[in-house]
Structure 1
Amino acid sequence: MHIEQLKQKIVAALEDLKAQDLTILDVKAATSVTDYMIIASGTSSRQVMALARNVQSTAKELDVELLGMEGLDAGEWVLVDLGDILVHLMQPQIRELYDLEKLWGEFANPINHQA
Structure 2
Amino acid sequence: MTSLEDSKGEQIVSIDMRGKSALADHMVIVSGRSHRHVTAVADHLLRDLKEQGFGMAKVEGLANGDWVLIDTGDIIVHVFRPEVRSFYNIEKMWSVGDSGDATVH
What's the TM-score bracket when you normalise by the shorter of the two chains? over 0.9
Unmatched segments (≥5 aa) in structure 2: none
Distance 2:73 2:55 in 1: 8
Structure with more of its chain in helix, by fraction: 1
Q: Cα distance 1:22–1:112, how it changes in 2: closer, same or farther (>3 A)?
A: closer
TM-score (structure 1 length as normaliser): 0.84
Q: Cα distance 1:15–1:81, how it changes in 2: closer, same or farther (>3 A)?
A: same
Question: Runs ≥4 in structure 1, deviation > 6 angstroms?
Answer: none
Residue by residue over 1:23-82, the C-alpha shift from the partner in whole angstroms, topping out at 9 and shown as x without a partner, is 000011101110000000000000100111111101110011433100001100000011
| Residue 2 of structure 2 is aligned to residue 42 of structure 1 | no
Let me know the Cα RMSD of the aligned residues.
1.3
TM-score (structure 2 length as normaliser): 0.92
Is the Cα contact below 8 Å between 2:12 and 2:104 reproduced in 1?
no
Unmatched segments (≥5 aa) in structure 1: 1-10
How many residues in Structure 1 have an aligned counterpart in Structure 2?
Answer: 103
Counterpart of 1:69, as a letter, is V
Distance 2:10 2:43 in 1: 16
Shift of 1:111: 2.5
